[in-house]
Amino acid sequence: MPELPEVETVRRGLGVHLGGRRVVGVRGRPVQLRRPLDPEHLGQRVTGRRCLGIRRRGKYLLLDFEGGVLLGHLGMTGRFARCESGAPPAPHTHLVLELDDASELHFVDPRRFGFLTWLGEHGEATDPALAKLGLEPLGEDLVLALPELVRGRRAPIKALLLDQRLVAGIGNIYATEALWRAGIRPGRPGGRIARRRLEALAGAIRAVLAEAIEQGGTTLRDFARPDGGSGYFAIHLDAYGRQGEPCRRCESPLAHTVIAGRTTAWCRHCQR
């Protein structure tokens, strides 16, 4: 569920709680996450170092420390929780960073699709996942770039939007929403969409991501509640999860198909 806006919200929350703090200890047991997590090894690298700030790239979080970067991904169910020192960890807590203000940052991830990895001084430039990421939908001119990115491609436009090598940060929810807003059928081959309509799609992507980030900002106070509140939020959704319900433009019931292995709700009437 965490897509670009949710990750951006987490980034801001981490900035408040972790930024400027020094790690004084690391706890956890080895566990197979998306990448293997070895808390003892990680502790040797990060203990004693101060967090200088947090960046985001696509759905990845880059926690800048003195002398290295801690790379994180939330997967489907990953979250960070700020806890008082010594507080009992929630189930599926895989890593605890003990901080110099008598607080702890817990990394919790029931489905283990996320990860935390120490990249070291120069790892950021060579990490294979980061290297493959496409452009930032909010940071560069997506309107100009999107038509070039999908030119000649026969895959469904929705599959292309989900491909992090083209555009980084879009997931199933915001791909579904942007296509509904732009009036484009999710299964339409990307290379067979008129330039003007792709430009409209790019605008819809930017708008829906920006609105979601704004929404997240208002719920930032909920960040990292140890009781399970994750800082995620439900923005106003027009299409995602609304199959069978009336389209908010034309009232006809939304259809439901699977594209790139993901459920997709869309309007047969006004998405062409």
Active-site positions read 2-3, 59, 262
Alpha-helix residue ranges (DSSP H) falling in 29-120: 39-46
Q: Which residues contact 16 (CB under 8 A, 6 or more apart)?
A: 220, 223
> Which residue, 221, 160, 171, is CA-closest to 58?
171
By C-beta, is 43 or 94 nearer to DNA?
94
Distance CA 272, CA 256 (A): 15
| Of positions 29, 41, 55, 132, contacts DNA by CB under 7 A | 132
Interface pick for DNA out of 110, 123, 183, 226 (rule CB under 7 A): 110
Q: How far apart are CA 241 and CA 256, in angstroms?
A: 9
Shortest approach of DNA to residue 102 CB, angstroms?
29
**Is the CB of 32 or the CB of 126 nearer to DNA?**
32
With the C-alpha atoms ordered 212, 110, 93, 31, is the resulting torsion angle positive or negative? Answer: negative
Among 52, 76, 144, 194, binds DNA (CB under 7 A): 76
Q: What residues numbered 140-159 form the site for DNA, per CB under 7 A? A: 152-156, 159
98/115 with CB nearer DNA = 115
Helix axis angle for 142-150 and 195-218, nearest 10°, is: 130
- Min dist CB 40 to DNA, Å, is 21
DSSP state of 152: T
Q: Which residue from 38, 113, 248, 268 is in contact with DNA, where contact means CB under 7 A? A: 113
Nearer Cβ to DNA, position 3 or 98? 3
Instruction: Give the residue, chosen from 171, 186, 216, 231, that forms a contact with DNA under the rule CB under 7 A.
Output: 171
In sign, the C-alpha dihedral spanning 257, 234, 230, 10 is positive
Q: How far apart are CA 231 and CA 223, in angstroms?
A: 4
DSSP letter, residue 259: E
Under rule CB under 7 A, residue 5 binds DNA? no
Q: What does the binding site for DNA look like in residue numbers (CB under 7 A)?
A: 1-3, 32, 34, 58-60, 73, 75-77, 91-92, 110-113, 128-129, 132, 152-156, 159, 162, 164, 171-173, 240, 260-263
